[in-house]
Chains A and B, each alone.
Chain A
Amino acid sequence: MTLDGLLERHGGWLESGPDEGPVISSRVRFARNLHDTTFPGWASKEVRDRVWNEVLQAFDQVTGGSGFLRWRMDELQPLERELLFERHLISAEMVERKSGSGLFVSEDECRAVMVNEEDHIRLQSLRPGLNLQQALAEADALDNDIEKTLTYAFSTKLGYLTACPSNVGTGMRASVMLHLPGLCLTDEIKPVINAVSKIGLAVRGMWGEGSEAAGHMFQISNQTTLGKTELEIISHLDQIVLEVIEHEKNARLRLMETQEVRVQDHIGRAYGILAHAAMMNSNEALDLLSGLRLGTDLKLMPEIVRRDIDQLLIRIQPAHLQKAAGAVLSPEERDIKRAQLIRRFLEGKK
């Protein structure tokens, strides 16, 4: 499948999954490096090319490896790299990388391997809903397959050796993407962020920073990678995420008990603007779609499926709009296309 083929689909990790309310997706990422080999940021072009070729060969040993799509960053247009970033398949740092850097993606987009980002190998498993255990099992299996032919840099004391000491040890970053409009609308999000940060986890806005996050989307992840087993890290994250979900659900209940009309007004207005606006920037769209998503969770809009909204959240991003239009668009042109896309989606739901 080509990159255009990818665009026709809506992000495999969004296509199915348990009904988890505030949880959008779970991700587990491993950082790995090759034994006796200079890290990508300090390596020559020759070394980076050699690493790419070694990983390419290692994929012959990966279960279903031949089905993985693969691209070298230098053969992709800037817009295509942005597109991969918007689909959570590569990092912002990877978008800028070229020679020797590349990507492997399973057809369902649930597994991806970045080669020559900050580390030689960054492999991830992305799953819909709260499903860290499955994401870990898949990342683990992919990791085992890749190391059948490659020797990783490893120390008995420090574990997997990474370019940045903040990843050393398990090399694992586990994260959960959450939609928390209840906590945002009740102004309870700040204390929750503070509490979560105090127990060794990091909270980031998916788009934008901290409690100002656009679309009320947040990502919670582990901060430390050394001194705990992978399972311990995941269990801790899982437990805290469940607590945050509980707080979010309580906040929604309180909102509906004490301010039902205000909530209906908030969601109805979001729908009204989304259904009729002719121009819409990214942040406004994210915030209004967040309102719509809350509406589906509260069963206020039976005609709209939450999964469709999650897919829209990706399709309204700049590179996706431009790729769909087949042209480079100015910000204003993008705002027009974005409003059009959302309007048509809602018209189809009437």
Chain B
Amino acid sequence: MKCDLCDKDAVVHLTQVVNGEMKEVHLCEEHAKEQGIDINSPISITDILMGLGEAKQGIEHELSPACPRCGMAREEFRKRGRLGCPDCYKTFMAELAVAIKAMHHSTQHIGKIPGHEGAQTRIKSQIARFRKELDAAIAREDYEKAAQLRDQISAARSQADDAGPAEGGAQ
């Protein structure tokens, strides 16, 4: 399990039931310390999400201080909780990843796709939907369906390779 904030292995795993839904946060040792997490005391995910704003000085130098497109400063974003432009999603992804996961219990869109998006996006979206179905099939121990979905995913993947390199749009 990777840390939600970097690529290191997570050593702190927090689970909390909020509104009847389970939310999880995984952090590496370094980021757990930065968040001021004392493993022996009860902690709320909301506190961690809110705390992300203040406690990240340690890796501040690696993050760009402002969005290169719209100029919104990191501090400004943390204060407002609103983004300045679509590119801010890339600039502030470190903070956003955890918040989005906690809000939506997901990090992958599987809904409508704008008409101007190309074949590559559509295939990727199809794969994401298959994956979601696969997780559900495994959870209810329907291994026949799971095997079927696994085949569909690999077929869609090779289709994606044929469709050529990824087209535009923020990732």
In the complex formed, the residue of A with least CB distance to B17 is: A198
Residue contact A156 to B86, C-beta cutoff 8 Å: no
Residue contact A169 to B104, C-beta cutoff 8 Å: yes
Q: How distant is the Cα of A33 from the Cα of B85 in the complex, in angstroms?
A: 9
Question: Chain A contacts of B80 at CB under 8 A?
Answer: 41
Q: Which of A36, A147, A169, A199 contacts B109 (CB 8 A)?
A: A169
Whether B72 is near chain A, meaning CB under 8 Å from some CB there, is yes
Residue contact B83 to A227, C-beta cutoff 8 Å: no
Q: How distant is the Cα of A202 from the Cα of B110 in the complex, in angstroms?
A: 22
Question: Chain B contacts of A41 at CB under 8 A?
Answer: 80, 82
Interface of B is mostly: loop
Residue contact B86 to A228, C-beta cutoff 8 Å: no
Within 8 A of B (CB), among A120-172: 140, 143-144, 147-148, 151-161, 163-166, 168-170, 172
Q: Which of B83, B85, B124, B169 contacts A165 (CB 8 A)?
A: B83
Interface residues on B, range: 35 or more
Q: Which of B86, B110, B111 contacts A36 (CB 8 A)?
A: B86
Interface of A is mostly: loop
In the complex formed, the residue of B with least CB distance to A148 is: B115
Which B residues are within 8 Å of any A CB, using their own CB? 19-21, 69-70, 72, 80-87, 89, 96, 99-100, 103-117, 121, 124-125, 129, 132, 166, 169-171
Residue contact A169 to B82, C-beta cutoff 8 Å: no
Which of B69, B80, B106, B114 has the largest number of chain A CB atoms within 10 A?
B114
Shortest distance between the CB of A169 and any CB in chain B (Å):
5
Chain A, 214-230, contact with B by CB distance < 8 Å: what is the 0/1 string? 00000000001111111
Shortest distance between the CB of B98 and any CB in chain A (Å):
11
Residue contact A42 to B72, C-beta cutoff 8 Å: yes
Q: Which of B20, B104, B110, B124 contacts A229 (CB 8 A)?
A: B110
Question: Chain A contacts of B132 at CB under 8 A?
Answer: 227
Residue contact B169 to A197, C-beta cutoff 8 Å: no
Residue contact A161 to B89, C-beta cutoff 8 Å: yes
Shortest distance between the CB of B7 and any CB in chain A (Å):
17
Residue contact B111 to A158, C-beta cutoff 8 Å: no
Q: Can you report 8 residue pairs joining A to B where beta carbons are below 8 Å apart?
A: A38-B85, A143-B112, A154-B113, A156-B125, A157-B108, A200-B19, A226-B109, A229-B129
Q: Which of B21, B87, B112, B124 contacts A230 (CB 8 A)?
A: B112
Question: Chain A contacts of B169 at CB under 8 A?
Answer: 154-156
In the complex formed, the residue of A with least CB distance to B100 is: A165
